[in-house]
Structure 1
Amino acid sequence: MARLFDAYVVADWTAAETKKTGENSLWIGVAKRDVRFRLYSETHNVATRAEGEKLLSSILADHRKRGDQVLVGFDFNLGYPAGTAARLKLDGEQAPWQAMWKFIAANVVDKADNTNNRYQVAAKMNRLMTDEAWPLWGAPAKQAQRWLTTTKPPQGAGDIPEFRATENAARKGKLQPKSVWQMHGAGAVGGQTLVGVPAVRRLLESLGPAGAVWPFGTGWRELTPADVEPLSVLAVEVWPSIFNAKPNPGEIKDQAQVRVAAETLAQMDDRGELAKAFAPPKDASPELVAQVEGEEGWILGV
C-alpha cells in the first residue's frame, strides 16, 4: 500500500493577545522520515501567530523543495454550521466555506504582537446574523457589549445549529467538542477559528494549485496517491485530544499533543488506514455530503 504523504505537520494554534510560549501557546509538531525511512518527530514553540505562520511556511518550503507531499492539520474549525454564510448574507457566487473565509480574512485584524480584534468581529457577526448577542458568545468582561455577552445566553435564534455534523458525530462517540460559537473559556475554539482561518487562507493562496484543503477542495471521499500527487500541501482540520497523548518526561501537554497527533497520522498512513479516514461514514446521506463539502468541513479521524 503506497503512503499518501511524506511528512505530517500538526499546528496547535492560539488566540492569545500577548506574546506567549509554553502552555496554551502556539505549538507545531512534525513527523517525518530520516534517510533510512525511520519515522521521527520534532516540536516547535513560538510566541506569536505571525512567527507560527512564518515557521510553518518555512517547514513546508523545505519539504516542497524535496518534492514531498505534506499533510498539515490545524486544531480549529475550517467551517461553520450549515446556514452561517446565508445568515451573514454572503456572496452566493462562492461556496459557503469560501465566502466565510473571505469574510473572516476581511474583518479580522491580527497584529505581529498577537493583539487582535476577534471579539469585535464576533460581535459584528452577531449583529449581522441576528441583531442579538447570539449565536457567538463568551468574552472577558471588558470586551462584552450589546452584541457579545460574557456567558452563554439562555436561548438564541433556534434555527442556527450549535454544532456542525462532525461535532454531533464526535458527541455520539462520547467526546465533548466545543461549539465554534463559544469565544472564551477553557477549550473554546471560536477565537482560534477567527484568527486561524486567515492564516490557512494565506498559506493556500501562496501555494496556488499545489495546496488544497480537505474536504472542501478534494471532496469528502477516500483519497488515493493519485489525488495527493499533484499537491505539496493538504490542509485538514484535526482535534489533537482524540489521540490520547501522554507527555514524555519534560514535555508539556500541548507539545505532546502535536507530537502524538503527527506521529499517529504517519502511522495510520503506514498501515494504509489514513486514506479511508478522508471518507464519509457509510451511512452519510447525499445531503450531508453536500453540507460537509460546501460549508461545514469535518474533523479528520471523527
Structure 2
Amino acid sequence: MNRLFGAYVIVDYSAAEGKKTGESSVWIGVMKRDIRFRLSYQSHNPATRAEAATLLRTLLADLHKRGDRVLVGVDFALGFPRGTAARLQLKTADWRGMWDFLAKNIVDKPDNKNNRFQVAAKMNRLMTDEAYPFWGCPKSDAQKWLSTLKPDSFGDFPELRLTEQETLKLRKAAHSKSLWQMHGAGVVGGQSMLGITAVKSLAESLGEQAQVWPFQTGFNMLTDESVAGLSTVIAEIYSPLYEGEPEAGEVKDATGVRLTATALAEADDKGQLGALFAGPKGLSEADTAIAATEEGWMLGV
C-alpha cells in the first residue's frame, strides 16, 4: 500500500519567555517507520524556540536523507481571522501578507525574549487606533493600544476563525480561545505570531519541495500524484481531536504530540489520511475561500 508520508513530525509550540522545558514548553514528536515499516516514536523537548528551530531542521534533513516525505503538524494558527490583513492595509490581503508583516516585525531572541506584546499593540494601533482586537498582557506591557482586559466589543472583527467555530461544534464546548487573546492560560495569539515567523523561515529554507496546507495546496485530497516531488507538507493540527491516555510521567503537551503523531500515522497506514486535506464540508464557497487563502484550517476538523 502506498502511504503519503514516511514520517510525521508534530510540533507543540510555546510563547514562553526564558528557557523552559516540561509543561507549556516546546515539544517535538517524531513518528517514523523502520525498514520493516514498523512505527517508532521519539519526543524532544528543546528549552528555547531557537533550539527547536535548529533541531527541527536537523530532524527534517535526516528524514529527507532517508527518502521520507514528511508531514509537519504545528499546533498554532497559520492564519489570522478574516479581514486582519485588509485592515492592516497590507500589500496582499491574504496569508502571505500576514506572514511577511510578522516576519518584519517579530523579534524572537535566542534566549526566548520576544516582542509579541509590542507587535500586538502596533497591529491594534494600525487597525483601530484603540486597544482592540488584540488584548491581554502583563501589567508591565499594558499601554494605550494593548490592555490587560478583554474589550467589551471586537467591533467588526470576528472573535474566532471559521475553523475555531467548527471546533465548538465538535467539542460541544462553551468557548474556544481566540487569536486576539495574547496572555493567559492556554492562549494561542502570541504563540501563533512567533510560530508563523518560524514556519515561514523553515518553509523558505526547504524551497519549492515544501508546501503549506491549505494555502499552497488548496483544499484537495492528497494523493500519490499530488505530493509527487514534495519533501514536506506543513499543516495546522488540533491535538484535542486525538484522545488517549498519558504515559507514566508524561506532561499534557507531550501526550498531545504523541497521540497526534500516532493517529496521523495510523490514518496513513489505512489510506485515510489524504482525505483529511480535502478540507471542511458544509462551508459556503465564500467561507471556504477565506479559509484557503487567509485564515487556514485545522487538519481533521
| TM-score calculated relative to the size of structure 1 | 0.96
Partner of 2:164: 167
Cα deviation digits, residues 85-130 of structure 1 (max 9, x gap): 00000003xx610000000010000000000000000000000011
Contact 1:21 1:45 in 2 (8 A): yes
The offset of 1:284, in angstroms, is 2.5
Partner of 1:290: 289
For 1:46 and 1:208, the matched residues in 2 are separated by 25
Partner of 2:105: 107
Partner of 1:66: 66
Partner of 1:31: 31
The offset of 1:154, in angstroms, is 1.2
Which secondary structure does the structure 1 equivalent of 2:45 belong to? strand
Residue identity opposite 1:144 in structure 2? A
For 2:85 and 2:36, the matched residues in 1 are separated by 48
The offset of 1:40, in angstroms, is 1.4
The offset of 1:244, in angstroms, is 2.1
Partner of 2:300: 301
User: Is 1:45 aligned with 2:45?
Assistant: yes
Contact 1:220 1:292 in 2 (8 A): no
User: Is 1:9 aligned with 2:6?
Assistant: no
The offset of 1:250, in angstroms, is 2.1
The offset of 1:226, in angstroms, is 1.3
Superposed, which structure 2 residues align to 1:1-302 within 5 Å?
1-92=1-92, 96-157=94-155, 159-173=156-170, 174-175=172-173, 176-302=175-301
The offset of 1:242, in angstroms, is 2.0
Which secondary structure does the structure 1 equivalent of 2:233 belong to? strand
User: Which runs of 5 or more structure 1 residues have no equivalent in the other structure?
Assistant: none
The offset of 1:246, in angstroms, is 1.9
Contact 2:279 2:299 in 1 (8 A): no
Residue identity opposite 2:290 in structure 1? Q
Residue identity opposite 2:213 in structure 1? W
Cα deviation digits, residues 22-48 of structure 1 (max 9, x gap): 111110011111121111111000100
The offset of 1:273, in angstroms, is 1.5
The offset of 1:280, in angstroms, is 2.5
For 1:146 and 1:4, the matched residues in 2 are separated by 49
For 1:189 and 1:245, the matched residues in 2 are separated by 23
For 1:123 and 1:246, the matched residues in 2 are separated by 40
Range that drifts further, 10-19 or 223-232: 223-232
Residue identity opposite 1:203 in structure 2? L
Tell me how many residue pairs correspond in the alignment: 299
The offset of 1:153, in angstroms, is 1.2
Range that drifts further, 135-144 or 171-180: 171-180
The offset of 1:139, in angstroms, is 0.4
The offset of 1:281, in angstroms, is 3.1
The offset of 1:283, in angstroms, is 2.2
The offset of 1:254, in angstroms, is 1.2
For 1:48 and 1:281, the matched residues in 2 are separated by 34
For 1:165 and 1:203, the matched residues in 2 are separated by 26
Residue identity opposite 1:141 in structure 2? K
The offset of 1:274, in angstroms, is 1.0
The offset of 1:245, in angstroms, is 3.7
Which secondary structure does the structure 2 equivalent of 1:204 belong to? helix
